[in-house]
Amino acid sequence: MREFITETMFNRPLPPEEMAARLNGDLGEEVKAYNAMTMYEAVERNFEEAHVRTLFKLWFHILALEDDPGTGAFFPRVFSRMDRFSIVKGGSIRFAEALEECFRSYGGEILQDAHVSEVTHKNGKATGVRLEDGRTLEAKQVVISTVDPPQTLRMVGEDAFGPEISEKVRNFKPSPHAICTIHLALNEAPRYTAAEFDPDLNRAFNMFIGVADEAQLEENFNATIHGSFPPFPMGNGACNSLHEPSYAPPGKHAAFWWPFVPYDLTDGGPDAWDARREEYTNRLLEVWRTYAPNLDEKNVLGTYLFTPRDTERSCINMIHGSHHVGAYTLDQVGYNRPTPELSHYRTPVEGFYMAGSGNHVGGSINGAAGYNAANTIAEDLGIKKWWTPVSEPVLG
Ligand SMILES: Cc1cc2nc3c(=O)[nH]c(=O)nc-3n(C[C@H](O)[C@H](O)[C@H](O)COP(=O)(O)OP(=O)(O)OC[C@H]3O[C@@H](n4cnc5c(N)ncnc54)[C@H](O)[C@@H]3O)c2cc1C
């Protein structure tokens, strides 16, 4: 189904009935069946063994999915892309730099440290943006927002979107679960006890650790959703320097782990993360060490805990540290993301588009929302596409 999944990601989302009409044959029926399931039901339909079920339930949560009716639709998507995990040579910043270089090579100009506070429009047509420092920039053709939908609404004003859409956008929800990142600078890569069973574990590209069964998974989410630190910190992580040496100085290693944690700590709220950084670093390191005993004082050269509060501070569109810029619940995925009226990247204001993770296909580094918006804008402006668009999704 990979080709079909790619087509659904790199095209505008279709209304459910239109999508259903394109799902034919056995595979089409299978997709329809997944569309009706929760993600846990989708995992349970495919796996019997408790550890394997736990692994995949955790994996789906890591993609910021909730166990809601309809999220079973992500099962084929996740499985069709499972072998596509990758890292950027030289570090993730190189990817952003490559895009910047490409943009500039076409005459693009980038302003940094420039906070957009308003999208200006006149007679229902976008005219530009106003920056926080008072400067205004005129738009010759279009304005595109790639920030979170509630902020986009504040920028353009509720009058522009009308009361019905505005209310829905105001209620766009962040993910109820956040992640933190514990970074380690190491003399040597983690060596896992489980490698005695399978030596490949010590060179795995991605590790899922911290939770042994579905009961622990549930206990953790019950804790984090109520603002408590999880009793069994769980999540995925990696030692990227094993696969790309530029991630660490010669002979050394860099590893990280992304456990689920609450954003809003019961005891002190989100800002309490700053005061607890050291305490939580030590707790997480202790848990990690139970799996990889060589993460001891001699080996660990340095640590840094990047908290959900840090995520929100550095990317203000990731409200509550919501790293996919909004929860994936049935009312916030596909044709409903961020609302059915806005999910085709156009807005009620002519020449104003939305192209961030608050739109289909959501977050992660896939470029899909921007690509789909670019196709839409080219069509609206009558620009001849110099790329071959991905075919429209059809099965059977
Ligand atoms: C800790 C962490 C780990 C992650 N790991 C992965 C991973 O391994 N793989 C993966 O695929 N994804 C990962 N993600 C998710 C991924 O980073 C996001 O889903 C993705 O960056 C969202 O892209 P975006 O363009 O919508 O938003 P962003 O990348 O957040 O870009 C939006 C930009 O707009 C800026 N901005 C916001 N408001 C304004 C304003 N008013 N004026 C001007 N600028 C503004 C923000 O500061 C930000 O720079 C991770 C996220 C986090 C937090």
Question: Would residue 295 count as lying in a domain?
Answer: yes
Chain-centre distance for alpha carbon 150: 17
Closest to 120 measured CA to CA, from 102, 101, 134: 134
- For the Cβ of 174 lying below 6 angstroms from any atom of ligand 1, the answer is no
Q: Are residues 186 and 299 in the same domain?
A: yes
Question: Would residue 214 count as lying in a domain?
Answer: yes
Question: Would residue 228 count as lying in a domain?
Answer: yes
- Asked if residue 174 lies in contact with residue 320, where contact means CB atoms within 8 angstroms, the answer is yes
The alpha carbon dihedral of 306, 309, 314, 316 has a sign of: positive
Report whether the peptide linkage leading into residue 174 is cis, meaning its omega lies within 30 degrees of zero: no
Task: Find the 11 Cα to ligand 1 centroid distance in Å.
Answer: 21
HSE, side-chain direction, 13 A CA sphere, residue 321: 22
Which pLDDT belongs to residue 74?
87
Count up the domains in the chain and report the number: 2
Which pLDDT belongs to residue 189?
98
Residue where a domain terminates, one of 53, 84, 115 = 84
- For the Cβ of 316 lying below 6 angstroms from any atom of ligand 1, the answer is yes
How does pLDDT run across 161-187, given as a tens digit for each residue?
Answer: 999 999 999 999 999 889 999 999 999
Question: Would residue 253 count as lying in a domain?
Answer: yes
Task: Find the 314 Cα to ligand 1 centroid distance in Å.
Answer: 9
Which residues does the chain have with pLDDT short of 50? none
- For the Cβ of 311 lying below 6 angstroms from any atom of ligand 1, the answer is yes
Residue having the nearest C-alpha atom to atom 34 of ligand 1 = 147
Task: Find the 195 Cα to ligand 1 centroid distance in Å.
Answer: 34
Question: Would residue 145 count as lying in a domain?
Answer: no
- Distance, in Å, from the CA atom of 292 to the CA atom of 237, rounded to the nearest integer, reads 13
Which pLDDT belongs to residue 80?
86
Q: Are residues 195 and 309 in the same domain?
A: yes
- For the Cβ of 295 lying below 6 angstroms from any atom of ligand 1, the answer is no
Which pLDDT belongs to residue 220?
94
- For the Cβ of 115 lying below 6 angstroms from any atom of ligand 1, the answer is yes
Q: Are residues 190 and 298 in the same domain?
A: yes
- For the Cβ of 175 lying below 6 angstroms from any atom of ligand 1, the answer is no
113, burial (CB in 10 Å: exposed 0-12, middle 13-18, buried 19+): exposed
Closest to 77 measured CA to CA, from 1, 15, 175, 11: 1
Residue having the nearest C-alpha atom to atom 9 of ligand 1 = 364
Q: Are residues 60 and 187 in the same domain?
A: no
Closest to 360 measured CA to CA, from 369, 352, 351: 369
- Asked if residue 281 lies in contact with residue 182, where contact means CB atoms within 8 angstroms, the answer is yes
- Distance, in Å, from the CA atom of 161 to the CA atom of 171, rounded to the nearest integer, reads 14
Residue where a domain terminates, one of 297, 314, 331 = 314
Task: Find the 146 Cα to ligand 1 centroid distance in Å.
Answer: 10
Residue where a domain terminates, one of 84, 99, 116 = 84
Q: Which atom of ligand 1 is nearest to the CA of 370?
A: 25
pTM for this structure?
Answer: 0.95
Question: Would residue 134 count as lying in a domain?
Answer: no
Q: Which atom of ligand 1 is nearest to the CA of 306?
A: 1
Q: Are residues 78 and 199 in the same domain?
A: no
Which pLDDT belongs to residue 60?
87
Task: Tell me which residue range forms the domain holding 58.
Answer: 2-84
- For the Cβ of 376 lying below 6 angstroms from any atom of ligand 1, the answer is no
Question: Would residue 54 count as lying in a domain?
Answer: yes
Find the helix or strand (DSSP H, E) in which 145 lies.
strand 143-145
Residue having the nearest C-alpha atom to atom 47 of ligand 1 = 315
- Asked if residue 225 lies in contact with residue 177, where contact means CB atoms within 8 angstroms, the answer is yes
Question: Would residue 50 count as lying in a domain?
Answer: yes
- Distance, in Å, from the CA atom of 165 to the CA atom of 126, rounded to the nearest integer, reads 18
Cβ partners under 8 Å of residue 61, min gap 6: 177, 217, 221, 260
- Distance, in Å, from the CA atom of 145 to the CA atom of 345, rounded to the nearest integer, reads 10
Residue having the nearest C-alpha atom to atom 1 of ligand 1 = 181
Q: Which atom of ligand 1 is nearest to the CA of 116?
A: 42
Residue having the nearest C-alpha atom to atom 41 of ligand 1 = 116
Find the helix or strand (DSSP H, E) in which 129 lies.
strand 125-131
Task: Find the 337 Cα to ligand 1 centroid distance in Å.
Answer: 17
Q: Are residues 192 and 295 in the same domain?
A: yes
Closest to 75 measured CA to CA, from 48, 62, 56: 56
> What share of the chain in percent tops pLDDT 70?
100
